[in-house]
């Protein structure tokens, strides 16, 4: 899934502008203070050119040292105060801007947390990270500086024009003749910059996604074990070169922009001096030296803010592409959301009885083929329900519907007779615990990974859970014990050790409903037997779903559901299914060429 998708419109979207402006609303008090400070600073900035005229005409030309000293000191004082005000409103602008940036990141992160698993399976992690970090960071200047800069520059330009008209209206008309050129050039530059900014961010997202895929531990292992280093490096070089091309265009925009500004700044004062001399030669009124110097000072004061306004136009128009990308994600509907009257249930409020009532589901809403169809069964508290069948039969997908990682397309899933869609998502998460085949540990300490299941757990709770999962002794032998950092995805631990930490995490969570997706697949026989009794104790009084490819692990299951092509084709206990001679018996025959080894204990 690439960035924004589709063509970016040339004009600013009114809705986008309105939504950006709305982001300032919580801080309108601070914005008012900034506006007041800017206006005072702008008015003070008008005084030095007036003082300069007096210094030249009434001081230097008349050798009046008192006038020179007085207005020189006033110029210094006013300049210091104006600079202080500039620093003050600059600080407050940065504060407001960063608060808005934090709000955008929080909103986007929270919204992404609420997206269904379907979104994350269809979108690369690098793309998501690019929206959250690069795109939000790319608009930082707009929300931090652009508002106050635009206000300050507009006020300076307007007040300076008024002052220039007071000095000499003819020179003022000559000076403002270039403003329409600035406006047209700014519009053209803004459109160009917008397209370039969008292309740069999309290519940055592409490169980030590739780096995330190839520089992770799993990616490096894939590259090294398949001898794909040269191909991966070459592909990175191609994508990197594309990004360089977009960044070159960004640099060209800046050179073109500032090149024109420098040219205008160089030519306009010369035109003013020539025009003033021409007026004097015609006898239309001699312009004093002080007036001319003060006028050119005001002219310089106006053109820099005018440049800033044009730069603001370019920056805002280019940043709208980033805002569009941010709002695109914020506007994505959350398929899995709380209903208004969602019930908040604790572990003591339910027994854990799970029912699937004629459930159908498909990953692609537009497809006619269902991943699960007509699933109907009951799982009672304290019972073990085993899910078996060939790969792709829908076993894992079935368990995804219980904690609402996906919602059913038809039928319903209930806990104690309550539709899971009517249960508050946070409390539903507390009711269901899972140990999956691919254990995920974050790059943190063993303790922090365990506390994900129960943040308020004591050290004694952690030790007890790890002892139950037969992993405590190993953790205690690590250099820093429970404070040992496990590395990215837990790569400092073996597969079996990671799995036992995950089992300890499930024990710590103490859920009413337990899902074991090949939970012991990464364990050797000795380790598997070590935690067998612990898992049996954990399952006591809980509704447990076990997905198993090794049929020896579910011999004593209370109910075995055999899935094929998304349907339950057989159901019953082990002996009953063997006697039927159907798919379960065939799967059993494939795995066991010798006599069946009966095991009274459940191993999952």
Question: pLDDT tens digits, residue range 32-51?
Answer: 888 888 888 888 877 887 88
pLDDT of residue 564: 93
- Asked, for residue 6, whether it belongs to a domain, the answer is no
Closest CA to 392 of 566, 576, 556, 259: 566
- Asked, for residue 390, whether it belongs to a domain, the answer is yes
What is the mean pLDDT of the segment spanning 547-555?
Answer: 77
- Asked, for residue 436, whether it belongs to a domain, the answer is yes
Whether residue 310 sits in one domain with residue 415: no
- Asked, for residue 376, whether it belongs to a domain, the answer is yes
Residues present in the chain in total? 604
What percent of the chain lies above the pLDDT cut of 70?
80
pLDDT tens digits along 210-260: 776 676 656 665 565 555 667 777 877 888 888 888 878 877 776 776 666
- Alpha-carbon dihedral 376, 518, 498, 123, rounded to 10 degrees: -60
pLDDT at 67 over 90: no
Whether residue 369 sits in one domain with residue 294: no
The dihedral through the CA atoms of 309, 311, 317, 319 has a sign that is negative
Structure-model confidence comparison of residues 37 and 521, the more confident one: 37
Whether residue 255 sits in one domain with residue 217: yes
The dihedral through the CA atoms of 143, 149, 150, 152 has a sign that is positive
Whether residue 405 sits in one domain with residue 281: no
The boundaries of the domain holding residue 531 are 347-591
pLDDT of residue 23: 81
Q: Which CATH number belongs to the domain containing residue 317 in this structure?
A: 1.20.1560.10
pLDDT at 537 over 60: yes
pLDDT of residue 283: 64
What is the enclosing helix (H) or strand (E) of 499?
Answer: helix 495-509
Closest CA to 554 of 507, 515, 603, 519: 603
Distance CA 213, CA 232 (A): 11
Whether residue 365 sits in one domain with residue 308: no
Contact 209, 127 (CB under 8 A): yes
Distance CA 236, CA 207 (A): 8
- Asked, for residue 338, whether it belongs to a domain, the answer is no
Structure-model confidence comparison of residues 209 and 58, the more confident one: 58
Q: Which CATH number belongs to the domain containing residue 586 in this structure?
A: 3.40.50.300
- Cβ contacts of 91 within 8 Å, gap of 6 or more: none
Whether residue 151 sits in one domain with residue 85: yes
- Asked, for residue 600, whether it belongs to a domain, the answer is no
Strand partners, 418: 415
The DSSP output letter for 482 is: G
Task: Tell me the residue ranges of DSSP E strands in 326-379.
Answer: 354-361, 372-379
- HSE-up of residue 79 (Cα within 13 Å, Cβ side): 11
pLDDT tens digits along 122-131: 777 777 777 7
pLDDT at 603 over 50: no
Residue the block writes with tokens 């083929």: 369
- Asked, for residue 598, whether it belongs to a domain, the answer is no
Distance CA 167, CA 266 (A): 22
pLDDT at 18 over 60: yes
pLDDT tens digits along 343-388: 999 888 999 999 999 999 998 877 778 899 999 999 998 889 999 9
Closest CA to 573 of 382, 352, 385, 376: 385
Whether residue 418 sits in one domain with residue 274: no
Task: Tell me the residue ranges of DSSP E strands in 175-254.
Answer: none
pLDDT of residue 493: 82
Distance CA 356, CA 353 (A): 10
Whether residue 319 sits in one domain with residue 256: yes
The last residue of a domain, from among 330, 357, 381: 330
Whether residue 386 sits in one domain with residue 315: no
Residue the block writes with tokens 């092509």: 565
What's the helix, strand, coil split of the chain in %, to 5?
65, 10, 25
The last residue of a domain, from among 296, 330, 364: 330
Greatest CA separation for the chain: 122
The tokens describing 36, both together, are 């007041």
Whether residue 418 sits in one domain with residue 313: no
pTM exceeding the 0.85 threshold for the entire prediction: no
Whether residue 512 sits in one domain with residue 393: yes
Whether residue 431 sits in one domain with residue 284: no
What percent of the chain lies above the pLDDT cut of 90?
16
- Asked, for residue 56, whether it belongs to a domain, the answer is yes
Lowest mean pLDDT among 65-79, 167-181, 455-469, 555-569: 167-181
Q: How many domains does the chain have?
A: 2
The last residue of a domain, from among 330, 356, 378: 330
How many C-beta atoms surround the C-beta of residue 163 within 10 A? 19
- Alpha-carbon dihedral 569, 574, 576, 581, rounded to 10 degrees: 60
pLDDT at 296 over 80: no
Contact 517, 399 (CB under 8 A): yes
Mean pLDDT of the chain: 79
């Amino acid at each position: 899934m690439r960035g924004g998708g589709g063509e970016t419109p040339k004009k600013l979207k009114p809705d986008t502008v309105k939504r950006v402006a709305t982001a300032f609303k919580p801080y309108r008090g601070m914005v008012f203070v900034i506006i007041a400070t800017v206006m005072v600073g702008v008015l003070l900035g008008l005084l030095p050119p007036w003082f300069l005229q007096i210094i030249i005409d009434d001081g230097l030309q008349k050798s009046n040292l008192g006038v020179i000293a007085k207005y020189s000191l006033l110029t210094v004082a006013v300049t210091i105060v104006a600079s202080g005000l500039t620093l003050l409103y600059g600080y407050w602008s940065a504060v407001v801007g960063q608060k808005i940036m934090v709000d955008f990141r929080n909103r986007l992160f929270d919204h992404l947390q609420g997206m269904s698993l379907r979104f994350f399976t269809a979108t690369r992690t690098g793309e998501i990270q690019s929206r959250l970090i690069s795109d939000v960071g790319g608009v930082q200047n707009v929300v931090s500086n652009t508002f106050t800069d635009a206000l300050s520059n507009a006020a300076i330009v307007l007040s300076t024009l008024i002052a220039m008209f007071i000095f000499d209206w003819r020179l003022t008309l000559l000076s403002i003749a270039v403003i329409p050129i600035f406006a047209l050039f700014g519009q053209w530059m803004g459109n160009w910059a917008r397209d370039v900014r969008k292309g740069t961010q999309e290519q940055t997202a592409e490169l980030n996604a590739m780096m995330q895929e190839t520089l992770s531990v799993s990616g490096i292992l894939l590259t090294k074990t398949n001898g794909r280093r040269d191909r991966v490096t070459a592909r990175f070089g191609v994508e990197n070169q594309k990004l360089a091309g977009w960044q070159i265009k960004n640099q060209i925009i800046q050179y073109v922009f500032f090149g024109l500004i420098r040219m205008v700044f160089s030519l306009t004062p010369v035109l003013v001096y020539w025009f003033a001399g021409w007026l004097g030669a015609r006898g239309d009124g001699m312009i004093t030296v002080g007036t001319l110097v003060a006028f050119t000072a005001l002219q310089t004061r106006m053109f820099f803010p005018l440049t800033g306004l044009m730069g603001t136009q370019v920056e805002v128009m280019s940043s709208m592409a980033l805002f569009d990308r941010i709002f695109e994600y914020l506007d994505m509907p959350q398929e899995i959301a709380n209903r208004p009257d969602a019930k908040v249930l604790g572990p003591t409020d339910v027994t854990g009885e799970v029912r699937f009532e004629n459930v159908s589901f498909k990953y692609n809403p537009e497809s006619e083929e269902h991943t699960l169809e007509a699933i109907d069964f009951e799982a009672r508290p304290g019972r073990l329900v085993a899910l078996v069948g060939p790969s792709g039969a829908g076993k894992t997908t079935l368990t995804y519907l219980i904690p609402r990682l996906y919602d059913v397309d038809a039928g319903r899933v209930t806990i104690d007779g309550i539709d899971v869609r009517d249960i508050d998502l946070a409390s539903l998460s507390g009711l269901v615990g899972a140990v999956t085949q691919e254990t995920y540990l974050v790059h943190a300490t063993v303790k922090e990974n365990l506390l994900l299941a129960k943040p308020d757990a004591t050290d004694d709770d952690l030790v007890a859970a790890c002892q139950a999962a037969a992993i405590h002794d190993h953790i205690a032998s690590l250099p820093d014990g429970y404070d040992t950092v496990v590395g990215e995805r837990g790569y400092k631990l073996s597969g079996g050790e990671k799995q036992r930490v995950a089992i300890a995490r499930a024990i710590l969570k103490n859920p009413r409903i337990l899902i074991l997706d090949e939970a012991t697949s990464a364990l050797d026989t000795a380790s598997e037997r070590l935690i067998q009794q612990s898992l049996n104790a954990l399952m006591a009084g809980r509704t447990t779903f076990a997905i198993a490819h090794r049929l020896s692990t579910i011999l004593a299951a209370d109910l075995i559901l055999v899935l094929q092509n998304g349907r339950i084709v057989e159901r019953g206990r082990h002996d009953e299914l063997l006697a039927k001679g159907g798919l379960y018996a065939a799967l059993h025959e494939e795995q066991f060429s010798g006599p069946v080894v009966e095991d009274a204990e459940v191993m999952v």
